[in-house]
Structure 1
Amino acid sequence: MTRIINATALLADIDVETDRTDAVQSFVKQETVLVTLTTDDGLSGTGYAYTIGTGGSSVLALLRDHLLPLLAGRDARNVEGLWQSLFAHTRATTTGALTSLALATVDTALWDLRCKRAGEPLWRLAGGHRQEIPVYDTEGGWLHLGTEELVKSALAAQEARFAGVKIKVGKPHVAEDAERLRAVREAVGPALHVMTDANQSQSLSSAVRLAAALEPYDPYWLEEPMPADDVGGHARLARSTRIPIAVGESMYSPMQFRGYLETGAASVVQVDVARVGGITPWLKVAHLAETFNVEVCPHFLMELHVSLVAAVSNGAYVEYIPQLRAVTRTEMVLRDGHAVAPDEPGIGIDWDMDAIEDRRVS
């Protein structure tokens, strides 16, 4: 049988591995919500989602009070049906971050079960396009870092054969952002991709000025220049600059991506598996982007995204921000500047439950 006989959730706080700042916030800690589902055939699957400092307890309460009780006795193989059932039950709070995060914990646990039952890794069961994916580094590009540190980190990433690095922008003066990017570009030369990320800090007028100042240094993309719900503003910005516009980490349903793609407001899709509601909707977004000939380069969660990017034909990059090393027994494998999707059955994360328990929030 494949009926769910037990569903549990917990919240654990994982410290950040390094200081991380951008134009609007700091990454305080990773509030990690984990769901484990057990079926009557003896299998168990674990899924997770996260916040970067607030809201984790609210996600946990939504799961315990409203979602997990609905899973008892349900067939774990019916992943799409279960996702739709839970979504319908929470319709009064959708579309929104807390509900999508809660759905993601259950959905990734169901996919973990699906892969284990099939004896296949996630990257193959979800599509199986290729196993190795280029990596770009974000850890050396945070906003608080000085220009000398940015250059040093970019050169180290290039030496490690990463295909790109990301530089945070959004300093008080556009000239400072341009100077930081100029220094990195001159140090690494023309071949390394240099991404930029404004973290929704700009108005339309300031974003236009920022893009114009950055253009001479050939940024690979300008990420989240304005608030994510300003689709029209992003479309106007995209028409005004040669820099591709990247969005997605602050979107919570496939429909939101459709608006960006239909209006030409995004040239790169950065769908986040936790924030969009799980693997089931993540794949829908990736396939939607493919119909617009747009690449998928997801935000954060490299340990899970490596398998999803490997699954789809338009998966282009994995973002290097290690965060789970304190609570897993193995790490994502890097080979010659590429992330390697794991071959073990399941979603590919080897949790250290004792370490998680040590960080559990009562």
Structure 2
Amino acid sequence: MSSITRAVAYLVDLPVEAERNDAVQSFLKQETIFVEISTADGAAGTGYSYTIGTGGTAVLALLRDYLLPRLHGQDARRIDAIWQDLFAATRATAVGAITSLALAAVDTALWDLRGRQTGLPLWIMAGGARDRVPLYDTEVGWLHLTTEELVAGARKAVAQGRRGIKVKIGKPSAVEDAERLTAVRSAVGPDLDLMVDANQSMTAAEAVRRAALLTPVNLLWLEEPLPADDLDGHAHLARSTTIPVAVGESLYSIGQFAQYLRRGAAGVVQADVARIGGITPWLKVAHLAEAHNVAICPHFLMELHVSLAAAVPNGHYLEYIPQLTAITSSPLAVEDGAALVPRTPGLGIDWDRDAIDALRKA
């Protein structure tokens, strides 16, 4: 029987593995929300989601007080049915980050459980389009780094075989952004993919201006230039520049992605499993993007997203930001600048249970 008999949630605080600052915020810590689910036939799965410093206890309370009690007795094989039931039970707080993060922790646990029951890894269960995904490096491009540090980090990333590098922008002076990127481009040459991320820091007019200023650097994409709710601004920007506009880490529903894609406001989709509400809606967004001939390059969570980006035909890039080193026993496997999919059943993340217990906060 796949009837759910146990569901628990807890919170683990992870310190950041490197200083990370962008135009609007600093990555304070990773509040990692875990959910463990067991069934009557002895199967078990572990799922998770995260915040970058605030809100973790709110997610935990939503899970413990409202969502997890609804799981008891449900058939763990019916993942979409469970997702819809939990979403319907939270309509007073949806659509939004707290609800999505809670749903994601449950949903990823159910997919992990399914993989362990069937003996299949996630990338096969979700489609199996390929067995590796090219990596681009964000860790070398944070906004607080000096130009000299950016250049040194870029050269190191190239030496490690990275296919692309992402640099944060949003300096008070647009000229400074341009100078920093020009230095990086000169250091890495014309062929390496170079992306930029403004972290929603600009007005619509400023985004148009900076896109024009940065066009000579030959960017693969311009990420989150405007607040995520400014759909009109993104659509206008996309029409005004040849640089593809990338969005998605701050969108929390399939419908929001659909609006961006219909308007031609997203040249690259960056859905985040935790922020969209789990693997179940992530796959729907990926296939929606595929139907619009748009690539999906997921945000963060490389240890989980490697399987999903490999599973779908339009998975194009994986973002390199390590953040689970302290609570996993084996690192992401990398070969020739690409991340390799895990071969073990379920999510394929090798959790260090003792380390998790040592960092558990609630």
Same fold (TM over 0.5): yes
1:124 CA drift (Å): 0.6
For structure 1, the residue ranges without an aligned partner over 5 or more in a row are none
Q: Which residue of 2 aligns with 1:61?
A: 61
Q: Which residue of 1 aligns with 2:296?
A: 296
Matches within 5 A, 1:66-145: 66-145=66-145
Q: List per-residue Cα deviations over 1:283-338 (Å, max 9, x = no partner).
A: 00000000000000000000000000000000000000000010011111011100
Q: Which residue of 2 aligns with 1:360?
A: 360
For residue 349 of structure 1, give the secondary structure of its aligned residue in structure 2. Answer: coil
Q: List per-residue Cα deviations over 1:255-304 (Å, max 9, x = no partner).
A: 00001000000100000000000000000000000000000000000000
Q: Which residue of 2 aligns with 1:320?
A: 320
Q: Which residue of 1 aligns with 2:188?
A: 188
For residue 274 of structure 1, give the secondary structure of its aligned residue in structure 2. Answer: helix
For residue 2 of structure 2, give the secondary structure of its aligned residue in structure 1. Answer: coil
Structure 2 distance, partners of 1:206, 1:229, is 17
Which amino acid is the alignment partner of residue 117 of structure 2?
R
For residue 350 of structure 2, give the secondary structure of its aligned residue in structure 1. Answer: coil
Q: Which residue of 2 aligns with 1:206?
A: 206
Which amino acid is the alignment partner of residue 44 of structure 2?
S
Matches within 5 A, 1:271-282: 271-282=271-282
Structure 2 distance, partners of 1:138, 1:122, is 25
Which amino acid is the alignment partner of residue 311 of structure 2?
A
Matches within 5 A, 1:195-234: 195-234=195-234
1:57 CA drift (Å): 0.1
Q: Which residue of 2 aligns with 1:309?
A: 309
Structure 1 distance, partners of 2:56, 2:340, is 30
Task: Say whether residues 1:162 and 2:150 are aligned partners.
Answer: no
Structure 2 distance, partners of 1:90, 1:167, is 37
Task: Say whether residues 1:19 and 2:11 are aligned partners.
Answer: no
Structure 1 distance, partners of 2:212, 2:236, is 14
For structure 2, the residue ranges without an aligned partner over 5 or more in a row are none
For residue 23 of structure 1, give the secondary structure of its aligned residue in structure 2. Answer: coil
Which amino acid is the alignment partner of residue 289 of structure 1?
A
Structure 1 distance, partners of 2:352, 2:8, is 17
Structure 2 distance, partners of 1:353, 1:8, is 15
Structure 1 distance, partners of 2:358, 2:168, is 33
Which amino acid is the alignment partner of residue 158 of structure 2?
Q
| Identical pairs, percent | 64
Q: List per-residue Cα deviations over 1:136-184 (Å, max 9, x = no partner).
A: 0000000000011111111111111111000000000000000000000
Q: Which residue of 2 aligns with 1:267?
A: 267
Which amino acid is the alignment partner of residue 180 of structure 1?
R
Matches within 5 A, 1:17-56: 17-56=17-56
Instruction: Extract structure 1 runs of 4+ deviating beyond 4 A.
Output: none
TM-score of the superposed pair, with normalisation by structure 1: 0.99
TM-score of the superposed pair, with normalisation by structure 2: 0.99
Q: CA RMSD in A?
A: 0.5
For residue 92 of structure 2, give the secondary structure of its aligned residue in structure 1. Answer: helix
Structure 2 distance, partners of 1:254, 1:181, is 33
Structure 2 distance, partners of 1:38, 1:256, is 33
Structure 2 distance, partners of 1:263, 1:163, is 30
Query: Relative to structure 2, which stretch is displaced further, 50-59 or 210-219?
Result: 210-219
Q: List per-residue Cα deviations over 1:103-135 (Å, max 9, x = no partner).
A: 000000000011111111000110000011000
Task: Say whether residues 1:171 and 2:171 are aligned partners.
Answer: yes
Aligned residues: 362
Structure 2 distance, partners of 1:232, 1:353, is 46
Structure 2 distance, partners of 1:232, 1:118, is 45
